[in-house]
Structure 1
Amino acid sequence: MKNINYNNEELSVMALRVREHIIRMSTAGGCFTGASLSAVDLIVYLYTNFLNVNPSNLNDPNRDYLFLSKGHDVPALYGTLAELGFIEKERLANHLSINDNIYWHPNTKIPAIEFHSGSLGHLPSVAIGVAMDIKISGGSNKVVCIMGDGELNEGTCWEAVLVANAYKLDNLIFVIDRNQFQANMRTEDLIPLEPLAQKFESFGAAVKRIDGHDFYELNNAFSAFPFQEGKLNVVIADTVRGRGLPSIEERADRWFCNFSADEIDQLLLELHGQHDTLLTSETLIVR
């Protein structure tokens, strides 16, 4: 089975469904709702229109790899994998259940999850190891590592940028989910990151900065891969924490959420109110 590229309308519909999944996982123990909602469009685009990976080629040595270093965003990854058939949608209801492996951070027992993550700053180095192996083996696989902006306070991230450029790993992309928050505080109020693009460039990377919710901009950026021969590719994706739910957008106290069942129902209504389409469990209804 080959990957099928989706148009922007189809991507928007899938992203809406993934946001529904995240909201439903934000109860009975909760999850990192705000952070996950900011990464949805990135993950949906990468799995549909950029990465050569699908449920039938996971054992193919020529497939591509995605590492979710900001592991607390895994509800966005779970939801995308469910929409694309890597796992059954019904399994998402098992979130935090002792009867499944779907919980707060990535687990390699879930198909297409490449590596455990949770401790921030670790997976850039893992992604480098995979990218180096591909280079040595003469492969053409692409390797993507999604990182949080607050995660960049970990020194290992910047060491990884130096190493990636030293070994000319132009088959590797670091994607920064730049939602302006680290846990329960704005990044610029804690340890300022800007000017972020110039910092990556000074470390030798080829950088593109885009709107991380705009599929047109995502496509323009990633279709230019590799950005420059012999350089690490970096995409800084400006995003909004809590994207799709105005009541929790850009709120420091909505990093992790554990809503009641009634609140979940209200949030789903709020989500639908921000779009021109409504989704039921099985049917797309156009207004």
Structure 2
Amino acid sequence: MDIQALQQKAIELRKATWKMIYAAKTGHTGSDLSCTDILVALYYRVMNQTAATFTDPNRDRYIQSKGHAVEILWNVLADRGYFPKSDLKTYSQFKSPYMGHPNNHVKGVEMNTGSLGHGLALSVGIAKAAKMNGQSYHTYTLMGDGEQAEGSVWEAAMAASNFKLDNLTAIIDHNGLQITGKTVDVMNSEPLKAKYEAFGWHVLEVPGNDMQALVDALEAEPQMGKPTLVLADTTKGSGVKFAENKAEWHHKVPTAEQYQEALDDFDRQLKEVAK
């Protein structure tokens, strides 16, 4: 997809996710909206993986360490044909596999995630296995910035550099907020760019809701012998003006009035992109 098509797809998927959360009356709304552009760039442009190749040993791998933002992942996978879109009508219902965190009973999910701090370590193991087995696939993982308070993240970061995993790209959804407030107030892990560089990573800091910037960073040639970190400076609740940069929207369901207001604005955004 070209950049305009990716931008349009991101709006469409924000709208679909917004509708699913409203119908289910549950969801990590602000978190979904902040990382939508990242998932769209990966699944529609960057990654060598499709529904048809999901069992191919040489497919690229994706681990969503930030597992609570699962609603957007479910919508991306459904839109890409991993399972029927109609399945999502069961989201968060009893016995539905489409629960509030990724689980590998669903096609398209490599690993169960959601316990924060585990995704990078899992990805280090997957990337190291590729090196050991002489395979060419690339591993991607998405973390939150609040997640950087977990010590296991830094153990994994150190290991990735030690093993020279230039086939690993980690992305941080750097929106500055978590469920209890600003990340710098809850547990300040800044400066993330300098810290990852000190751990031996190649770091690219980009505006994380800018599709062109994301694609350029994710498609850049890796530095030999170094894992890559894309530090994506995003907006919590991106695309819904009244939810942007508000910690209360980390996990919140819109009212009927808010629901319709956002739907109308998504339609306006789609018209703008189409010009």
- What secondary structure sits across from 1:165 in the alignment? helix
- C-alpha distance after superposition, 1:10-51 (max 9, x if no partner): 101111111012111223331000011000000010011111
Match of 1:149 among 137, 145, 169: 145
Give the secondary structure class of the aligned counterpart of 2:141. strand
Instruction: Name the CA distance, whole Å, in 2 between partners of 1:123 and 1:220.
Output: 24
1:193 aligned partner: 189
Q: Choose which of 106, 109, 119 in structure 2 pairs with 1:110.
A: 106
Aligned residue number for residue 98 of structure 1: 94
Mapped partners of 1:15, 1:178: distance in 2: 18
Residue matched to 1:225: 221
Q: Structure 1 counterpart of 2:8, which letter?
A: V
Normalising by structure 2, what TM-score? 0.95
**Identity over aligned pairs, percent:** 34
Which structure 2 residue ranges, 5 or more long, are not aligned? none
Q: Partner amino acid for 1:12?
A: Q
Q: Partners in 1 of 2:221 and 2:19 — Cα distance?
A: 35
Distance 1:225 1:234 in 2: 12
Work out the CA distance in 2 between the residues paired with 1:40 and 1:17: 10
Contact 1:108 1:116 in 2 (8 A): yes
Secondary structure of the equivalent of 1:72? Answer: coil
Secondary structure (helix, strand or coil) at the match of 1:48 reads: helix
Q: Report runs of 4+ in structure 1 exceeding 6 Å deviation.
A: none
Q: In the alignment, which residue of structure 2 is the partner of 1:214?
A: 210
Deviation at 1:191, TM superposition (A): 2.0
Deviation string for 1:122-146 (max 9, x for gaps)?
1111111111110000111000010
How far apart are 1:230 and its partner, in Å? Answer: 0.7
Are 1:180 and 1:188, in contact at CA under 8 Å, matched by a contact in 2?
yes
**Contact 2:11-2:269 at 8 Å conserved across structures:** no
Name the counterpart of 1:168. 164
Supply the distance in 2 between the matched residues of 1:23 and 1:147 (Cα, whole angstroms): 21
Match for residue 283 of structure 1? Answer: none
Query: Please, what is the CA RMSD of the aligned residues?
Result: 1.6
5+ residue gaps, structure 1:
1-5, 279-285
Q: Which residue of 1 aligns with 2:58?
A: 62
User: How many residues in Structure 1 have an aligned counterpart in Structure 2?
Assistant: 274
Aligned twin of 1:12: 7
TM-score normalised per structure 1: 0.91
